[in-house]
Structure 1
Amino acid sequence: MNVMAKAEKKISSAFIYFFGSFGGILFGYDIGVMTGALPFLQADWHLENAASLVGWITSAVMFGAIFGGALAGQLSDKFGRRKMILMSAIVFMVFSVLSGVSPDMGEASAYYLIIVRMLLGLAVGAASALVPAYMSEMAPAKARGRLSGLNQTMIVSGMLLSYVVDFLLKDLPGEWAWRLMLGLAAVPALILFLGVLRLPESPRFLLRKGDEAQARKVLSYIRKNPAEIDQELASIKETAKEERQANQKTSWSTLFSGKYRYLVIAGVGVAAFQQFQGANAIFYYIPLIVQKATGQAASSNLMWPIVQGVILVVGSLVYMWIADKFNRRTLLMVGGAVMGLSFILPAVINWMMPNMNPMTIVVFLCIYVAFYSFTWAPLTWVLVGEIFPLAIRGRASGLASSFNWIGSWLVGLIFPIMTASMPQEAVFAIFGIICILGVIFVKTCVPETRGHTLEEIEEQGTNHGRVKASNPES
């Protein structure tokens, strides 16, 4: 068997993990690109005083992603993770180009761009649901935190790439700058498509469809020890057998049945809190935040997004270093507490010292981004990828992704409206309170998953009452 596995081995594990997580680049690029494109788009289409329209243009991708995540998660249970990632890359390419060639038709142009970006959001949402599920099913339990963290590294690398592209294009004529910024998103989508053509399907999906031979072959690419392959196959098959014996028919109501409710609430809750904590307000609007704080034009503040992007990338690398050394819950609670204080303290300082340096809030935002980058940012997707049982993984991952995008959409939509009607410090203080609520949620509702196989996590969820009674930290 070992000789046969070696003879069949044609795809390196590094290739699988790299392109398996590359979908995060698409996710990240489109999160970041509007940060630099928006000031030029506002000037080109005279939207400086149209806060609600600016909010809709910015958040349209997230609105589409709400449905893309749920739809892709459900379809991936039927057609496989790999095929749906390929489809997402195609959709992303098409609508990125259509965004860049938006016609100049007055007010109708804004509505065209909103609709196109909603459709683009279907692919962004799909990637956010599919990549964590695929990576968690390919990675061994002992390295799943680190390898699943590759998704976050790809996301923030995509964001940094978009910030750099925005900065390099900022001296072009305004009507060309924002179009190229949006249209160039098609390039990483094409790279993803070409890479995923060679990727194998998830072994867990293959076994679920009854193709044990192909599942064994895929595991031989990414597991060194034949005994480990046999053990993992046996574990997956046992779980699948129990599901067949129970004759389960999964539906949306199944997610909240007694057997699955605990883990679904935990995973979906963490995904929702990640966005309602306000991170994307920084990522989408940092030039406008600095403009409001200092009075400098937003289009001249495009170096700040790059600073944020570098912090995010460094943080993602820090996470990969510490991922499997600390409990998931510990990192989430420490990170959430510091993030909350980073948002609340500027409001407190401004109340005590009304003449506070306006850049103080930007310094605290950098502290927020630093802690977010190696805690909530990567761990949300690690948990989403590993916490849901096999029978509902695709559907539940899609639901978690949709709740994540609902938060992202609402933050992107209402932030410019909120800052137009109240001080920035007050807006961020509200997000700070949500961060603290997220810490309480993790403490009371989220189990520890580090070092457990996916099957052990499922068993832990099924018997969570007994487990928590004997081991409160779990």
Structure 2
Amino acid sequence: MASTSTPDDAHTTQEKSTGRRVSTRFIYFFGAFGGILFGYDIGVMTGALPFLQEDWDLAGNAAAIGWITSSLMLGAVLGGALSGQLSDRIGRRRAILAAAVVFALGSVLLGITPHQSIAFMVTVRVFLGLAVGAASALVPAYMSEMAPARLRGRLSGLNQTMIVSGMLLSYLMAWVLQHLPTTLAWRSMLAMAAVPAIVLFLGVLRLPESPRFLITHGRDDEAYEVLRTLRPGGAIEDEAREIKETVAAETAAGERTSWASLFQGRYRYLVIAGAGVAAFQQFQGANAIFYYIPLIVEEASGTAAQSALLWPIVQGVILVLGSLLFLAIADRFNRRALLTLGGLVMGASFLLPALIHWVAPGANPMLLVAFLSLYVAFYSFTWAPLTWVIVGEVFPLMIRGRAAGLASSLNWIGSFLVGLLFPIMTASMPQPAVFAIFGVICLLGVVFVRTRVPETRGRTLEEIEESAALRETGKESQSL
């Protein structure tokens, strides 16, 4: 199909379902805006928990604290898995709209939780987690399919900037609202997530669907219209042809997308790579810092957790600055090199406090907090954004929805376990020892990257899939 474009076409596209024209900047901004909600709901309990703990007299009840905090991630496990099937059926755009509705409704329900109703709060946070898990899978998949190969790392990294901006926003809201009456303070913090959810819904209403989804479902004309906007002056026919050839070849081979197919020959290598990176990101312990930093500072310094709300803001600022650094270097350095650098420094940041605590038990306990800040700094521009860049890049087209859902679910399983077990572990062993365990996992993540993850920078999604197929074919030939 021949395509022609006008100067206006080079900057705008018309979404047929809405009849409105939107700019590419608008597309990329709201395509990644789901990360704001994702980040806000990750970070909001950090500020709300000290007030909730006082209001409901939860001090010393490590199990209740763990379940309230981690229940969101439990729902996200299911949400991440279901979002893949849903987005493959109805499209990335409509699935994100559905997630926004759940976000808004769940946030309001949390704000009106009955007093001391732990079961109600846990149930609602599981429900809200469905949307959080869906967003964690849908946003990187959508952004990777909209972005050209040369900018894919930077634009996919925009998702991480949105996530950490949402976290910082929740920390700032906790700081602003901390002087309200205790009950009103934590309820306001939780309910405020409904505001960005409404903004997301209104923005996504005007977004076009992913061109890869459109071509896969035979909507070629719409796909070409979107591509003309996203690739002004580019060879959109070549890109569309590559997508069509991939779909046709796999359809002709009679392959059917199922959970079992994720680990069949030609897909296995890439699925293990993407899902493994997603799992390692959480088991490395980052969210233990983000969820519990006021309580960590309380134990280290002896000050009340409610007086430590400045530390989440410090961590949030580091995360945002790191995400901006990543946007500047995303497409200048190989993915594997950045993951290796980050994993090594992160592992050292967790292991050194344990070593110092063992050699000099009388050392200043706040030294741990300083090392945690170093961890956050390197995590912020390596594993935090690159996990979702790789998840968006590495999965083949025909299984991308399910595979991204699997990766998201594994990521949230790790987040759930960290959120649930960290307060229980710190109640039974010194904090430096707990973080040392995470340090070992960081180093194992480096080994995994060096042995199981392909380099994806600057390669089209189809090129990545083809090279992985050749790799698996070679391995099978060698085993015969």
**TM superposition score normalised by structure 2:** 0.95
Unaligned stretches of 5+ in structure 1? 469-474
1:38 lines up with 2:49 in the alignment:
yes
Amino acid paired to 2:212: R
Superposed CA RMSD in Å reads: 1.3
Residue in 1 that maps onto 2:16? none
Percent identical pairs in the alignment equals: 67
Amino acid paired to 2:141: A
Amino acid paired to 1:401: S
Shift of 1:2: 2.7
* Alpha-carbon displacement from aligned partner over 1:239-295 (angstroms, at most 9, x marks no partner): 111111112111100000011000000000000000000000000000000000000
Contact 1:65–1:125 (8 Å) recurs in 2: yes
* Alpha-carbon displacement from aligned partner over 1:311-333 (angstroms, at most 9, x marks no partner): 00000000011100110000001
Question: 345, 352, 357: which one pairs with 1:338?
Answer: 345
C-alpha distance in structure 2 between counterparts of 1:178 and 1:82, whole Å: 32
SS in structure 2 at match of 1:11: strand
Residue in 2 that maps onto 1:464? 471
* Alpha-carbon displacement from aligned partner over 1:200-231 (angstroms, at most 9, x marks no partner): 00000000000110000011121111x52111
C-alpha distance in structure 2 between counterparts of 1:88 and 1:188, whole Å: 12
- Kindly tell me the number of residue pairs found equivalent between the two proteins: 465
1:183 lines up with 2:185 in the alignment:
no
SS in structure 2 at match of 1:2: coil
SS in structure 2 at match of 1:49: coil
1:192 lines up with 2:203 in the alignment:
no
Residue in 1 that maps onto 2:146? 138
1:407 lines up with 2:433 in the alignment:
no
SS in structure 1 at match of 2:265: coil
Amino acid paired to 1:89: A
Residue in 1 that maps onto 2:35? 24
* Alpha-carbon displacement from aligned partner over 1:371-420 (angstroms, at most 9, x marks no partner): 00000000000000010000000000000000000000000000000000
1:47 lines up with 2:58 in the alignment:
yes
* Alpha-carbon displacement from aligned partner over 1:151-206 (angstroms, at most 9, x marks no partner): 00000000000000000000000000000000000011000000000000000000
1:269 lines up with 2:280 in the alignment:
no
Within 5 A, what are the aligned runs for 1:219-298? 219-225=227-233, 227-298=234-305
Shift of 1:3: 3.9
Question: 456, 460, 463: which one pairs with 1:453?
Answer: 460
Question: 186, 189, 210: which one pairs with 1:202?
Answer: 210
Contact 1:44–1:174 (8 Å) recurs in 2: yes
Shift of 1:16: 0.5
Shift of 1:467: 8.3
Amino acid paired to 2:90: F
C-alpha distance in structure 2 between counterparts of 1:187 and 1:460, whole Å: 44
C-alpha distance in structure 1 between counterparts of 2:473 and 2:75, whole Å: 40
Residue in 2 that maps onto 1:371? 378
Residue in 2 that maps onto 1:471? none
Contact 1:11–1:221 (8 Å) recurs in 2: no
SS in structure 1 at match of 2:254: coil
Question: 313, 320, 326: which one pairs with 1:319?
Answer: 326
Shift of 1:92: 0.6
C-alpha distance in structure 1 between counterparts of 2:229 and 2:62, whole Å: 51
C-alpha distance in structure 2 between counterparts of 1:313 and 1:3, whole Å: 37
1:2 lines up with 2:4 in the alignment:
yes
* Alpha-carbon displacement from aligned partner over 1:401-457 (angstroms, at most 9, x marks no partner): 000000000000000000000000000000000000000000110000001000001
Amino acid paired to 1:372: Y
SS in structure 1 at match of 2:94: helix
Question: 58, 61, 72: which one pairs with 2:83?
Answer: 72
C-alpha distance in structure 2 between counterparts of 1:156 and 1:268, whole Å: 22
Contact 2:66–2:419 (8 Å) recurs in 1: yes
C-alpha distance in structure 2 between counterparts of 1:338 and 1:138, whole Å: 33
C-alpha distance in structure 2 between counterparts of 1:71 and 1:434, whole Å: 28
Shift of 1:4: 5.7
C-alpha distance in structure 2 between counterparts of 1:173 and 1:146, whole Å: 42
Residue in 2 that maps onto 1:385? 392
Amino acid paired to 1:215: A
SS in structure 1 at match of 2:22: coil
C-alpha distance in structure 2 between counterparts of 1:465 and 1:21, whole Å: 33
Question: 103, 109, 129: which one pairs with 1:98?
Answer: 109
SS in structure 2 at match of 1:171: coil
Shift of 1:461: 1.2
SS in structure 2 at match of 1:355: coil
Moved over 4 A (4+): 465-468
C-alpha distance in structure 1 between counterparts of 2:415 and 2:356, whole Å: 28
Amino acid paired to 1:29: Y
SS in structure 2 at match of 1:287: helix
Contact 2:80–2:405 (8 Å) recurs in 1: yes
Residue in 2 that maps onto 1:472? none
Amino acid paired to 1:169: L
**TM superposition score normalised by structure 1:** 0.97
